Amino acid sequence: MDFDNIECVSSSDGLDEDEIHHHNLQHHHLHQFASPKPHNVNNNSNGIANVVGGPTVIAPATSVHELLECPVCTNSMYPPIHQCHNGHTLCSTCKTRVQNRCPTCRQELGDIRCLALEKVAESLELPCKYYNLGCPEIFPYYSKLKHEAICNFRPYNCPYAGSECSVVGDIPFLVAHLRDDHKVDMHIGCTFNHRYVKSNPREVENATWMLTVFHCFGQYFCLHFEAFQLGMAPVYMAFLRFMGDEAEARNYSYSLEVGGNGRKLIWEGTPRSVRDSHRKVRDSHDGLIIQRNMALFFSGGDRKELKLRVTGRIWKEQQSPETGVCIPNLCS
């Protein structure tokens, strides 16, 4: 199944005054993917309060953390932290977006740094922003950002290709999102046999086929098949991504096979984690790549229509306790 037209959603980097005012009226909080129900009130040892119902309880550490929250993007601020003549602060990234006007009082910002707040930040130790998703780590303020970029508890981006989907969440949340919102094909089992057809194979510029999701070994895998320009050459490419982290993806292997007219191509590899974007995997050429002339040869007939059958399987690598050698564990 293919998309003849792909609608891409783009967003502007700039903010107008109405948008800035809207940002000042509300704070964005990380979506609770595991459950829509709120947690009970609990104060932990880090001074962080989980509150539901009744008056809001704010621990001292939380108050300081809110002081370091940019009022425009709601992200934590890092040096240089800027302020206006009235003492309102914002991060350096947003300073360029608000056209040098304070988003709170609309006064000109100038080039004033809030050195006192930068010093306060140096003395802080704060929990990872993903603590509510399970991360137990606490870091000095200026080390926290580096950890959060690679935190194993950070949410995953939607693996759907062709729409620049901005949805993030844990794996169960994204599986439901792919099924319900993107209407992807869902399959149970570790073998597959798919036929890809396109009436005009000359149109290869970013042609993307519907994503297929497989559930096996208690995990989820995404099979991609698409066409794009590799330099000056039009090619088709198939590859598999694992819905989980890279370390766990290494426990699995997969093979892809395409052929016709007594010829075939076979690819074997390790699925890439969905932590790596779809484009990153594609541009690294980590998958089965078929040149257009070869694809049309496999399709048979007069070579005016693409008819490719891609088969494959997924298996789990298991280490033999006697020899230490990895042996494949094939699903039935």
Q: Domains in the chain and their CATH numbers?
A: 65-149 (3.30.40.10), 156-316 (2.60.210.10)
| pLDDT of res. 204 | 56
pLDDT reported for residue 331: 61
Q: Which residues contact 254 (CB under 8 A, 6 or more apart)?
A: 221, 240, 268, 269, 270, 271, 312, 313, 314, 315
The type of residue at 186 is: M
Residue 180: per-residue pLDDT: 95
CA dist 295 → 121, 185, 310 (Å): 58, 23, 11
pLDDT of residue 198: 76
The count of C-alpha atoms lying within 13 angstroms of the C-alpha of 272, restricted to the half-sphere facing its C-beta, is 20
pLDDT along the chain (332 residues), means of 10: 34 37 36 34 36 35 75 88 91 87 88 90 86 90 88 92 82 95 93 83 62 95 88 87 95 94 92 92 92 85 78 84 54 54
Q: What does 121-183 look like in DSSP terms, one character per residue?
A: HHT-EEE-TTGGGT---EEEHHHHHHHHHH-TTSPEEP---SS----EE-HHHHHHHHHHTS-
